[in-house]
Amino acid sequence: MPLLVDPAGFLIQGERRLPCALGKGGIVADKREGDGGTPVGTFALRRVLYRPDRLSTPPQTALPVAPIAPDDGWCDAPGDAAYNRPVKLPYPASTEAMWRDDGLYDVVVVLGHNDDPPVPGLGSCIFLHVARPAYAPTEGCVALALEDLLAVLKGCGPGETLTVPG
């Protein structure tokens, strides 16, 4: 079932309407690295990553699922060949650590934003992930409460998309 982001801060899946956090830069039609904006578009749900030390079982979903390891990162350096790709840490260019202490990446859905192929500077690390307390803004991602994210994933499978309207 497709996912739709309501610009008022809700994620809609069928009859479900769940509060979500969006980027501190708002919803942007012209995404740029570091702008804090959630990009406009329809993005494939590529796969789910999770912290095996924090979840007793992998998320239930028909999407591909893999555990995160302490040395997993995601390159956010526009000039690097691995831009907007997973890397192993330590990595010589700028990266986002996937193994976080704050719980935001306990469950992460990799979205098909700027990845086929990545274009330097058009945004990296755009995920659907766990929200901060009180749904504080993200750096450009969409974020849900952990329980809501796990419930949404139960209804997701290959070919599923998330749409952020412009």
CA 49 to chain centre: 10
Contact 5, 18 (CB under 8 A): no
The one catalytic residue in 20, 125, 141, 156 is: 141
State the pTM of this model.
0.97
Token pair belonging to 17: 């309407």
Q: Does residue 117 have a cis peptide bond before it, meaning omega lies within 30 degrees of 0?
A: yes
The domain made up of 3-164 has a fold known as: L,D-transpeptidase catalytic domain-like (2.40.440)
Token pair belonging to 109: 């859905």
The one catalytic residue in 20, 113, 129, 156 is: 129
Catalytic site includes residue 141: yes
Residues 64-106: pLDDT tens digits? Answer: 999 999 999 999 999 999 999 999 999 999 999 999 999 999 9
Q: Is 161 exposed, middle or buried (0-12, 13-18, 19+ CB in 10 A)?
A: middle
Catalytic site includes residue 113: no
Residues 7-26: pLDDT tens digits? Answer: 999 999 999 999 999 999 99
